[in-house]
Every structure is written in C-alpha cells, then in structure tokens.
Homo-oligomer: A and B are copies of this chain.
Amino acid sequence: MSADQATKHVAVIGGGLVGALNACFMAKRGFKVDLFEKREDIRTMDVVRGRSINLALSVRGREALREVGLEEVVIKEGIKMYGRMIHGGDGSLNEIYYGRKDQYIMSVDRRKLNEVLLTAAEKYRNVQMHFEQKLVRCDIKTGDLEFKSKSGQTNKMCVDLIIGNDGAFSAVRQQMMKDTLLNYEQTYIPHGYMELCIPPNSLGEFNMGVNYLHIWPRNEFMMIALPNQDKSFTATLFMPFDIFNNISTVEEAMVFFREKFPDSIPLIGEEAIRETFRKNKALPMVSIKCSPYHVGGKTVIMGDAAHAMVPFYGQGMNAGFEDCIVFNDKLNEHNDDFDAALKAYTEYRKPDAQAINDLAMYNYVEMRKSVNSKMFLLRKKLDNFLYMLFPNRWVPLYTMVSFSRTRYHECIKRREWQDKMLTKSLNVGCVVLGLSFVFFGRHMLTKQGSLLMTLTEDIAGNFKSMLSA
C-alpha cells in the first residue's frame, strides 16, 4: 500500500474457501478487510452440513495458496492422486495416469482447508471477521451494507468495495440481478449425487489403492471415491434423478448395487448402503454463468457466485482460487483503481470462467463413459506420447487444465488445434494410402495388402468419429 493513499475498505461477503482466501489477498494488499459469514464459525462447529467432504486441489489452487504462504501447510495434509483407477463391471481394475508419472492432484479435506484459510485471514491485523451475520441489504452502487446477527442485531457499514464470495446462491449476485443488466444463466443437470463412505479396513488401513481417484464408470452414471486422511474414502454416486427415483426401497438399492457396483459392497458395507439410501436423497447440481462480474468500481463477485460449475473437472475450487490471483493481478496493474481493475477483471476472466464451466460439463461424459472406450485410451496414449516428444507444443487437455495455469479458454483452443492437426494428419495418411493403392494397386491386392487397407480404414473411421465426438 502506498503511504499517501487512504486505506481502502473492503467487505468480503462469505467465509467459505474463496472468501477466506480472498480476505488474505486483500489484507496482504494493506486494505482494511471485513469478512462476513452467515453461518457460525466452521472451526467451532461439531458437524458441518452440506457440500462434499473432499476436494481435488491442483496447480491453480496451489499457486493461489502459495501467494499467501499457505501451500505447504495445506498440501502436507493432502493425499496425492496420480490417476484414475477404473473399476470395471467385472471387478477388473485399470489405472489411467493423469499426466506424467510425477504429476498428481491432491485430495484435501474441505473443512480443514476452510479452517486453515480462516485462521490465516484472522492473523492479519487489518482483517476483522464477523460470523452469523446475514446480509440483509446491499447497495451495490454505493457500498452500503446491512447485516443482521443471529440475535437480531443490525450491523451497518459502508465500504469502498464489496466482494461477493457467497457461493452459488449468492445474495450479492441476486442484488446485481435486481439493479443492473446482468446476463445470467443457471442450468440444473438432470443428474443428482449422493455420498457414501468407504471406511478403513479391519487393520485400520485404506481399503483400496490410496493414490488414485477411483471411478466406477457405468456410461449413464458413475460412482467415484477420493481418499481421506483418516484412511477412509468418500464415495459419490452420480446418476440421473430418474434412476434415483426408481430406487424407492433400500432393498431396491441393494439390488442396484449388486448389479452395478458389486465390488464396492464389501468396501462400503451392506448396512451402510441401506442406511444411506434410507436417510438421504440425491442432491442437485447447478451450473451458473453470468456477466459482467462487477458493478462500477464498487462490487465484484468471484468463485461460485460468478461461475458455479458441475464438479466433474475438480476445478470449482481451483478456478475460484485462481480468481483471487487474477483479481489481485488486475489491482496491481491498475494501481488499486477499482473502476479500472474491476472492469479489467470481468473482461479477462469471463472467457476463462465460461470455458471451465463447459469443460466441467463435458468431463462428466468422459468420466462416466469415455474412459470405457478403447478409442479414448488410444487417444490418451497418443497425447501422452506427443507430449513426451513436444513437451511445450503438445500438452494434453487434462494436463493444461490441472497441471498448468494456461488460461482455461486457451486450453480449449489448443485442444481444438490438436484435434485439427490429428484429423489433418489422418486425412493426409488416407490420401497417401489411397494414391498408393491407385498407383500400386495390383501389387497391394495381396491378402496382406487388402487386410491392411481394411484395418487402416477402420482405424481412420473410428478415429475420426472419436475426434468429432
């Protein structure tokens, strides 16, 4: 902070993962920061309801944590996942690495991470935390805020900047929808999710290979499982609501599990499956896009408030954390001129946030279906081979998204370029083969030759359909 500038006052709305991290970023800039969270302090709660238990932390998230000095403390409690472990319907196991053998994403505990971030934010002398304070009035153009505490007390404040980190059902965004021309889109996918637990085995050890994200891909639906520090796994069943609704008794749930996920029954436990289906119901998933993310120089939304996404790329938190880096960069570029920085933030971040929303949607198909396909695996191998040959020019999509900070929209563009190159190479290959046939036809019409032709055409056809899928 320059000494000659009055201290700027920022209100961060929401003390979840992105809110708490953003408070650190803003505090580090020297701003006076007030963080408001409507729930009680997660660090003092017995049981935390709602939201998934663990999350996949990858490069974007780690880099944001590093900028506020928290990377080490977070990753030392995380569990490395080097790839997907595919559970076939026949109980077979196949691993698919995410990238190079030294590249991994990390399973981290949502609650613990949130606690670390809140404690870190609180350490800044210029940060004030307020729990159990519900936003009841929010003037997005003047910065006037009003909160109500649990006991009914009113808390008023006028700030220079409102940062809405208040999640998918953001109150700040709702106010923006009332007072400005906000383009907005929310889509509930026709699938829901339900969490189950795979406890440690009788020796107190992990019940499955620990360093993987386990997937039971069943085309129309899937189950996944991520490892936890306490040697359990948290499994999540993703499935069309139609199928969930058809399972009306716990007995039907068991029949379903016996048919679709037989190898998981001894892991989860029959009684636990019954219990879960008896007590819980499938929860919905929403994807949200909007723009702009800001109002003048007074209000900005980030994280799920701006771009809630379906969970299938494991990028929701990572994208939200990267928002904090980008916003911080824009403040640097514009010398804390909020008008200019907020405008630049929307412009820069919009194509990336929309791209990762789309990628997350696409990845559901990859996880539940494509991983079953030989062509997908062939492409994966080809990508990895080319990545080895040209580590700077041919980076596979998953690697760009999870192991680099390549802008999300750029990831899509490069993947499209890769697809085009492969199609072209394939076409050239076909033409060469075709011409060879025309000119040397007689000599090729041996048994081996025609077999080769058929085979080549077959592969080419499959490959093309895969690329266009």
| A residues lining the B interface (CB < 8 Å) | 177, 181-188, 284, 286
Q: Provide the bound-state CA to CA distance between A182 and B286, in Å.
A: 10
Determine how many copies of this chain the complex contains: 2
User: Which of A181, A185, A187 has the most chain B CB atoms closer than 10 A to its own CB?
Assistant: A181
A177 to B174, CA, bound (A): 11
Residues of B within 8 A of A286 (CB): 181
Shortest C-beta distance, A186 to chain B (Å), equals 5
In the assembled complex, which residues on chain B have CB atoms less than 8 Å from the CB atom of A184? 184-186
3 closest residue pairs by CB, A with B: A181-B188, A185-B185, A184-B186
Closest chain-B Cβ to A45's Cβ sits at a distance in Å of: 26
14 contacts between A and B (CB under 8 A): A177-B186, A181-B188, A181-B284, A181-B286, A182-B186, A182-B188, A183-B186, A183-B187, A183-B188, A184-B184, A184-B185, A184-B186, A185-B185, A185-B186
Closest chain-B Cβ to A454's Cβ sits at a distance in Å of 30
In the complex, what distance in Å separates the CA atom of A187 from the CA atom of B184? 7
Chain B residue, CB-CB nearest to A286: B181
Q: Distance (Å) between the CB of A154 and the closest chain B CB?
A: 22
| Distance A184 CA – B284 CA, assembled complex (angstroms) | 15
**CB nearest to A287 among chain B residues:** B183
Please give me the residue from chain B that is nearest to A187 by CB atom. Answer: B183
Q: Which residues of B contact A284 (CB under 8 A)?
A: 181
Contacts of A187 in B (CB 8 A): 183
Distance in Å: Cβ of A281 to nearest Cβ of chain B? 13
Query: How distant is the Cα of A182 from the Cα of B183 in the complex, in angstroms?
Result: 16
CB closest chain-B residue, reference A290: B186
Residue of B nearest to A181 (CB): B188
Q: Which residue of B lies closest to A180 (CB)?
A: B188
Task: Give CA–CA (A184, B188) in the complex, Å.
Answer: 9
Q: How far is the CA of A177 from the CA of B173 in the complex (A)?
A: 14
Docked Cα-Cα span, A187 to B187, in Å, equals 14
Residue in B closest to A177 when the chains form the complex, CB atoms: B186
CA–CA, A142 and B182, complex, Å: 31
Tell me, in angstroms, the Cα distance from A284 to B177 when the chains sit together: 14
Cα distance, A186 to B187, chains bound together (Å): 12
Contacts of A183 on B, CB cut-off 8 Å? 186-188
Considering the chains assembled together, what is the distance between the CA atoms of A187 and B177 in angstroms?
11
Minimum distance in angstroms from A350 CB to a CB of chain B: 14
**A186 to chain B: which residues have CB within 8 Å?**
177, 182-185
A284 to B181: give the CA distance in the assembly, Å: 8
Which residue on B lies nearest to A186, using beta carbons?
Answer: B184
Q: Which residues of chain B have C-beta atoms less than 8 A from A188's C-beta?
A: 181-183
CA distance A341 to B286 in the complex (A): 27
The complex places the Cα of A186 from the Cα of B183 at a distance, in Å, of 6
Query: CA–CA, A401 to B188, complex, Å?
Result: 31
